[in-house]
Chain A
Amino acid sequence: MVIDRRQIVQGLAAALVASLIPDHAGAKRRVPLYVSCRMDAEGKASAAMFSLAGEEIFSTVLPSRGHDATLRPASPEIVVFARRPGNWFAVIDAGAGKLVATVLSAESRHFYGHGVFTADGRLLYATENDMLTGDGLLGIYDASDSYRRIGEIASRGVGPHDIAFLPDGKTLVVANGGLRTSPQTGREILNPDDIKPNVTLIEASHDHTLATLELAQRFRALSIRHMAVAQDRTVAFGCQYQGDPNDLPPLVGTVKPDGKIALFDMPVSELMGMSNYVGSLSLDRNEDIIAATSPQGGSVALWNRRSGEFLSREKMSDVCGIAALPDRHDFLLTSGNDGVRSLVEGAETLNRISDDRLQSWIWDNHLLPVNL
């Protein structure tokens, strides 16, 4: 029997929709799929969902370059954010592969490229900038009301970037990178000598600060940008160093549930390969390993999440997007010029997944795993 590609894609899309919405028994079928923003060689931006077999489930044209994506729980909707300083987010129906809505930023606000839904899928929190004051904000959008912006709260810092919920579904965790920027001056850092990054925990329903955690004074130039949250409430984070390029500070660490911060070491020769920059990070499926990518260094580095022990560093040109693969300790990686590859425990090399179709795209910074 010959199965054509369209049938496979339709089958996957149907499985996706089914898998995103629990069936009557509450069980979810698992079809590992991934979403990422990308550009083609002509510079046209899109967001795409693909399978590990290389099938493109959908591709949606974006107004401009996108950044991260987040999945709306109990819904086939995926929200894709513009890259900072962006003024839109796009809502995509993953089942139909269609753009449902494009929501513009509020007056004197812009997005930072990341957002997260509440567990019930009703509210979307997006990291934003108050362009008048430079204060970090979390814009709140009601997904059940056409993503109407219903309010905003302080992010408790400057330049909020990544955002997530802790496993309790009530506590927001925000990476305030500490970098003040303005659309008028593009991506120029306006406060290079006064960077105060933090990780802040906020009780979302009451806008109540639970903790604001800062790095030691000597690490203040480490802009905390991206996070991955474990089920035991440990928050792994990755940083971008804004100080003297000759310094080689640690770039990855964790905030333990008791609020203690640990920065993870690695040998200097390996640290050099990270170029003082982490672009994205992820936990493996078993949450044993933290993997951080450095597009500047063309590297992905791995640590034991619990002990902080450095495990290895692999090279991949322009690598940035990273997400867990279904098998424990394995990761999927995307690059702007080296396609999509897998990092499999015990394998000697990073292997391309599937065929050519995924390889010719310029994949952007982040990779969202869907339904692992």
Chain B
Amino acid sequence: MKRALAGFFLGLAILAVAGPARASDDTLNQLVERFIVPHYQALALTADAQEKSWSEFCARPDEMGFKALQRAYLATADTWSQIEFLHYGPIGEEFRAERLSYWPERKNATAKGLAVLLEKDGVADLTPEMFVKNSVAAQGLPALERLLFDEKAEHEMLMGARRERRCAVGQAIAWNVVMIAHEVRLGWTSDIVEAIAKPDTAKEATSRIATDFLAFFAYMRDSKLRQPLGKDVASARPQLAESWRSKRSKRALQLNLEAAEDVSKIIMKGKEGDTPATIATAASLADGLPDEFGPAVSDAKERQQFYLVLDALAAARDKARGEIPAILGITVGFNSSDGD
């Protein structure tokens, strides 16, 4: 049944891509065709592969299969990091972004939601229709990360007393990720592409994409760096780093910045400006971060590199805010950034 649905999604996508609708704005066309749609397609492909890995593993669990699950998770998390900045469009509807990647984890919500899921028996509650009624926090990638990278994850999955239920829950989450990824991809390749052929909608879409892009610098600073750093060594909280269990905190940030640079190049193409270069500077400084933020944020010397990245991100944000709205002919609000 699931396979049949996946085939259905693919068929729809091919039909939709074949449509001639184009946005009235060329930069927007470039953003959609060269960045947004390919990245959501990549997300859907890795999500498909991940779901396949879970199906195979649950049918015949072994160590190699578990390693394959971990690799499939990392690949899916990577494709998500590359399009994570965008909230506009179908990802921002029906809690898809939160369901796909509930992070930062507040109130221990993923741990609690996953514990509730793992305690139950059987599989009746894990059909796609039933599964979406569970806690949003336990429906996506952070929950899978716990199943695959927690301290005793491999043992629990291969030899734990509740391994069958654990596998079924993982499979249900992986399928949920597939559903979300395809819904978003289809939304972009059909509904939105058609809508932005109209100038009014195109302007709104451009403005919203740019706003998401500009806001993401603060998100990277505040959530991805400042939270684990804390105010000082004593208040550092390594476990607030993104994806610390799978040791991809740095990689996630690198992919975020790589995506930001690509987006800025599309927007700035043929225009004078330094936004791509300032993002590239931040990216090269991020390359100097340790792979795991954990021990480093508690070390006064190693914190220095984090501060350099924070400063570089602030510079990139300021440069982008100064250049991009004018180039796109849009206004960017300040209520969300300075408040009162």
A residues sitting closer than 8 Å to B (CB atoms) are 39-41, 67, 83-84, 113, 187, 225, 240, 245-248, 268-269, 272, 277, 279, 295-296, 298, 315, 317-320, 335-338, 356, 360-365
Contacts and interface: CB of A to CB of B under 8 A. Distances in A.
Interface stretch (B17-25, B101-109, B282-290, B292-300): B101-109
15 contacts: A245-B104, A245-B223, A246-B104, A246-B107, A269-B137, A279-B339, A279-B340, A296-B336, A315-B92, A318-B335, A337-B330, A337-B332, A356-B200, A365-B335, A365-B339
A323 to B, nearest CB: 15
B336 A245 contact: no
Interface in B293-340: 325-326, 330-336, 338-340
Nearest to B237: A246
Interface of B: 87-88, 92, 95, 98, 104-107, 109, 135-137, 200, 204, 207-208, 211, 222-223, 227, 240, 325-326, 330-336, 338-340
Contact of A67 (B92, B208, B211, B340): B340
Contacts of A279: 335, 339-340
B211 A318 contact: yes
A318 B333 contact: yes
A181 to B, nearest CB: 11
A336 B106 contact: no
Query: Which applies to chain B's interface (DSSP): helix, strand, loop or mixed?
Result: helix
B98 A337 contact: no
Question: For B92, B98, B104, B340, which residue has the most chain A Cβ atoms within 10 angstroms?
Answer: B340
Nearest to A273: B98
A250 B231 CA distance: 25
Given A41-B325, A248-B106, A317-B208, A365 B340 contact: yes
Given A272-B98, A317-B211, A337-B207, A362 B333 contact: yes
The 3 closest A-B pairs by CB, nearest first: A336-B333, A318-B333, A295-B335
Given A320-B335, A338-B333, A269 B340 contact: no
A338 B207 contact: yes
B326 to A, nearest CB: 7
Contacts of B137: 268-269
Given A246-B107, A336-B332, 12 more contacts: A247-B106, A268-B106, A269-B135, A277-B339, A295-B339, A298-B336, A317-B88, A336-B333, A336-B334, A337-B207, A338-B333, A365-B340
Contacts of B208: 317, 337-338
B227 A336 contact: no
A296 B215 CA distance: 10
A337 B211 contact: yes
B80 to A, nearest CB: 18
Contact of B106 (A40, A225, A246, A338): A246
Contact of A269 (B98, B200, B326): B98
